[in-house]
């Protein structure tokens, strides 16, 4: 019954996606990469949420909440403010230039080399880190939910390989052969399912705690675990509160405002109004995100009394404990949709970056639209196969969510830096952008992979020599031995901007940059954009004050 309901919902999504996209002209770049610039607010919002929300976040953030409490909700709530900034400031500029890719702006503002370097950074991050992590974490969830090793009589490792290739092949069909619109439509349907399924887990969990009464369950959870319900993280938490004002906001702005896999949904908007409404709708729903990716971790901590061997097992164990058997097939299908969404969205963005920014620019400058799409699809197949081969090999990567956030810093802050300077200045030259990209990447790598281990190991060795062996004391010493990676990002962001501005002062470009309106879509703003944006920001601040 579980497998039948799983297959039924999955096939339904595929059929609806096919019917909704069969008439889209996908032999053109706009048709394939941007859904014919026809996406409406609801589709954009659903696709944004599903692209962002997948197993590495559902499992990883709930694991962090299990350990550190409510403070990790910052990854969700602060995203709402980043989306407001994108809707009000960045999206009008993107649509004015008729962009297909974010690096496309860098070509107009700086030069082709800057654009190509940025595209290569995106692609490298996607294939080496993001795609394999999505596939691996998704396979862990599906394998555990259906107990694939027992079902098929295989080992745990073999079950991971089977799930990785199953998810990868189906996701590739959506992304490579369906284009953005197929991805976006399937995302929108799965978004509804994920919201329903995601809310069911804490719902049943609270019923279990409250012996059948939801509000009693919530009251017991809060009163018996008050230390877990603090919005402001301490120095030893994964996200100390002060980092909101250093690197956290930068990470959020990069992700929601400049990351190709995310912003591509808004670039496909039929006009600025629909794009802004889609972003703000997603922003409002994002505030409710902790109900799905934080609250279950807190419930798991209470139910299992903090006794689980690993924090990342909190969500799967809770699902197994509280979800009625008749719901398992539906929830697995929804989770499968979330995994597919993240995988095929990243893959579709990779195909876009390669086709527009690499193939057309450097391999075949005379290629027509049909040829660009053809070779983009070929690249997508190769990329998917590479990711499927790498995914099972990252089993020992540690905490996947923390690993993702820290590794992404290699390219996220340098890219954000040159985009900010590109939009806010007119005479900073292309050489400054190239130096900013290279120096930003190298300095971050030196900081996090050479200096940080040295300082932390030295501090811990000294502490142990002095007789300090308590885990809590060692954790505090470790947190103080070297700046938090979000602080490092903020420092490098400011440093890179200063470097670029100094170069711009010493060697300014001869002709000031002026953005042109391509008139591909109407860029009249939504008349309520400012009012809704303020309301969203006030709600976020109110949540923090309430739980402070």
Report the CATH number at residue 188: 1.20.1730.10
CA nearest 3: which of 151, 186, 187?
A: 151
pLDDT at 11 over 80: no
**pLDDT band of 204, cuts 50, 70, 90:** very high
Check if the beta carbon of residue 322 is closer than 8 Å to that of residue 201. yes
Give me the mean pLDDT over the 438-447 stretch: 92
Residue 325 has pLDDT above 60, yes or no: yes
Task: Report which of residues 37 and 501 the model is more confident about.
Answer: 501
Q: Which helix (H) or strand (E) holds 468?
A: none
pLDDT digits (tens, 9 = 90+) for 46-81: 778 777 777 777 877 888 888 888 888 888 889 999
CA 267 to chain centre: 17
Mean pLDDT of 519-546: 89
Using CA atoms, how far apart are residues 84 and 81, in angstroms rounded to an integer?
5
Q: What pLDDT score does 498 carry?
A: 95
Token pair for 539: 């709600």
Residue 180: per-residue pLDDT: 46
* Structural contact between residues 233 and 242, judged by C-beta atoms closer than 8 angstroms: no
What pLDDT is recorded for position 297? 92
Full residue range of the structural domain in which residue 273 is found: 2-547
Q: Which range is least confidently modeled, 6-20, 128-142, 200-214, 437-451? A: 6-20
Q: pLDDT-derived band of residue 29, with 50, 70 and 90 as boundaries?
A: very low
Q: Tell me: pLDDT of 370 over 80.
A: no
| Residues contacting 328, CB < 8 A, separation 6+ | 2, 145
Q: Quick one: pLDDT at residue 4?
A: 66
* Mean pLDDT along residues 310-337: 79
Which residue would you say has higher pLDDT here, 420 or 364?
420
Instruction: For residue 258, give the nearest of 365, 465, 103 by alpha carbon.
Output: 103
- Tens of pLDDT, residues 155-197: 878 888 898 888 888 777 765 555 445 555 666 666 677 778 7
Q: What mean pLDDT is predicted for residues 480-485?
A: 85
Report d(CA 492, CA 475) in Å as an integer.
25
The answer to whether the CB of 130 falls within 8 A of the CB of 346 is: yes
| Band (28; pLDDT cuts 50, 70, 90) | very low
Between CA 491 and CA 527 the distance in angstroms is: 37
In the predicted model, what is the mean pLDDT of residues 88-94? 90
Is 162:148 a contact under the CB 8 Å cutoff?
Answer: yes
* Mean pLDDT within 262-266: 78
Give the Cα separation of 171 and 184 in Å (integer): 13
The three-state secondary structure class of 304 is coil
Per-residue CA distances from 440 to 216, 433, 451, 491 (Å)? 51, 10, 15, 10
At residue 32, the pLDDT reads 45
Is there a contact between 21 and 179 (Cβ–Cβ < 8 Å)?
A: yes
Percent of the chain scoring above 90 in pLDDT: 23
Spell out the residues 6+ positions from residue 45 whose beta carbon is closer than 8 angstroms to its own.
191, 277, 278, 279, 281, 282, 285
Dihedral of CA atoms 420, 424, 426, 428 in degrees, nearest 10, equals -40
Of these ranges, 181-190, 269-278, 488-497, the one predicted with the greatest mean pLDDT is 488-497
CA distances from 274 to 40, 261, 492 (A): 5, 19, 35
Predicted local distance difference test score (pLDDT) of residue 206: 94
pLDDT band at 35 (very low <50, low <70, confident <90, very high): very low
Q: What percent of the chain has pLDDT over 70?
A: 86
pLDDT band at 31 (very low <50, low <70, confident <90, very high): very low
Q: How much is the pLDDT for 18?
A: 57
pLDDT computed for residue 500 by the predictor: 94
Number of domains in the chain: 1
Give the CA angle between residues 295, 198, 277 to the nearest 5°. Answer: 100
């Amino acid at each position: 019954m579980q497998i039948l309901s799983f297959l039924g919902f999955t096939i339904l999504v595929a059929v609806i996606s096919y019917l909704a996209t069969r008439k889209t002209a996908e032999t053109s770049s706009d048709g394939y990469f941007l859904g014919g610039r026809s996406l409406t607010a609801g589709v954009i919002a659903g696709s944004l949420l599903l692209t962002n929300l997948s197993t590495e976040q559902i499992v990883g953030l709930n694991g962090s909440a299990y350990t550190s409490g409510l403070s990790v909700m910052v990854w969700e709530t602060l995203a709402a403010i980043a989306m407001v900034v994108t809707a009000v400031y960045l999206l009008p500029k993107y649509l004015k230039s008729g962009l297909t890719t974010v690096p496309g702006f860098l070509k107009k503002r700086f030069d082709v080399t800057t654009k190509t370097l940025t595209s290569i950074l995106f692609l490298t991050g996607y294939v080496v880190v993001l795609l394999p992590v999505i596939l691996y974490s998704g396979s862990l969830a599906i394998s555990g939910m259906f107990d694939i090793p027992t079902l098929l009589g295989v080992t745990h490792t073999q079950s991971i390989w089977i799930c990785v290739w199953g998810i990868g092949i189906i996701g590739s069909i959506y992304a490579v052969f369906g284009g953005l619109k197929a991805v976006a439509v399937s995302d929108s349907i799965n978004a509804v399912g994920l919201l329903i399924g995601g809310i069911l887990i804490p719902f049943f969990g609270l019923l279990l705690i409250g012996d059948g009464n939801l509000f009693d369950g919530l009251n017991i959870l809060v009163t018996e675990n008050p230390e877990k319900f603090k919005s402001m993280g301490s120095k030893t938490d994964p996200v100390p509160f002060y980092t909101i004002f250093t690197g956290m906001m930068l990470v959020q702005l990069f992700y929601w405002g400049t990351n190709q896999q995310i912003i591509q949904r808004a670039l496909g908007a039929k006009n600025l109004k629909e794009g802004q409404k889609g972003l703000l709708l997603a922003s409002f729903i994002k505030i409710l995100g902790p109900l799905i990716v934080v609250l279950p971790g807190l419930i798991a901590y209470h139910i299992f009394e903090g006794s689980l061997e690993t924090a990342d097992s909190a969500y799967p164990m809770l699902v197994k404990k509280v979800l009625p058997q008749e719901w398992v097939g539906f929830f697995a299908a929804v989770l499968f949709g979330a995994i597919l969404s993240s995988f095929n969205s990243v893959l579709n963005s990779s195909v876009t970056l390669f086709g527009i920014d690499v193939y057309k620019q450097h391999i075949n400058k005379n290629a027509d639209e049909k040829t660009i799409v053809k070779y983009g699809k070929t690249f997508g197949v190769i990329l998917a196969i590479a990711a499927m081969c790498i995914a099972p090999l990252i089993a020992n990567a540690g905490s996947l969510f923390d690993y993702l956030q820290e590794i992404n810093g290699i390219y996220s802050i340098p890219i954000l830096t040159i985009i900010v300077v590109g939009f806010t200045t007119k005479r900073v030259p292309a050489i400054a952008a190239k130096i900013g990209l290279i120096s930003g990447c190298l300095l971050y790598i030196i900081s996090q992979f050479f200096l940080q281990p040295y300082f932390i190991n030295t501090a811990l060795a000294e502490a142990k020599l002095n007789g300090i062996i308590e885990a809590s004391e060692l954790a505090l010493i470790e947190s103080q031995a070297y700046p938090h990676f979000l602080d490092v990002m903020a420092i490098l962001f400011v440093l890179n901007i200063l470097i670029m501005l100094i170069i711009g002062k010493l060697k300014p470009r001869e002709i000031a940059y002026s953005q042109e309106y391509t008139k591909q879509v109407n860029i009249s703003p939504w008349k309520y954009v400012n009012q809704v944006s303020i309301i969203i920001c006030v709600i976020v601040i109110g949540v923090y004050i309430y739980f402070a």
